[in-house]
Amino acid sequence: MISNELILAAGAGANPLLPNPWEILVTAAGFAVLLFIVVKYIAPAFEKSYQDRVTAIEGGLEKAEAAQAEADAILAQYKAQLLEARTEANRIREDAREEGAQILAESNAKATAETARIHAQAQQSIASERAAAASSLRAEVGTLATTLASKIVDDALENDERASRVVDKFLSDLESQQNAGASN
């Protein structure tokens, strides 16, 4: 029971649920001072920090957009240069093909001309050798015919004029026999 009496004596007039008015006043004054400090110093610092961050982020976004626009412009310029380089390469390749075809045509024409020249020169050489062979053959046949006729006639055909007539007559007879053989 002592404890009940003590409780009743200590709190005879006060309600334990209601705070002391002096505590309320001291707490309210402390809260007011703390609120003044927060509103006067801390809140503006937070607001300044917030604005700095917003400015930095917006500036960063603007810089990023500017860098993106610059990158897009450089990419477009690069693509244009690449297209121009490809066009130039195609033109050079086409020029090289045309030049190659022209060189091939020129070398074909030169080869044809050289072939014709060599052929004409060979024909000339053949004709000249044929004439030389015919002349040599005629002289040799003449000599053989004269020798043969001398032996047959037992008469000397040492006279040049007479030997020449005999050779000519022999050759004309020989040609007429060849022509008659060729006709048959």
Kindly list the domain boundaries of the chain, sorted by start residue: 26-164
Q: What is the pLDDT of residue 104?
A: 93
Q: What is the pLDDT of residue 103?
A: 94
Q: What is the pLDDT of residue 17?
A: 81
Cβ contact 146:159 at 8 Å? no
For residue 81, how many other CB atoms are within 10 A of its CB? 10
CA distance 165 to 71: 108
Q: What is the pLDDT of residue 156?
A: 55
pTM over 0.85? The answer is no
Q: How many residues does the chain have?
A: 184
Residue located via tokens 């044809």 = 112
Q: What is the pLDDT of residue 126?
A: 92
Cβ contact 157:150 at 8 Å? yes
Helix/strand number for the chain, H first, E second: 4, 0
Q: What is the pLDDT of residue 81?
A: 94
Calculate ∠ Cα 44-49-54, nearest 5°.
Answer: 120
DSSP 20: P
Give residue 170's identity as a one-letter amino acid code: F
Residues of the chain with pLDDT under 70: 1-14, 149-160, 162, 182, 184
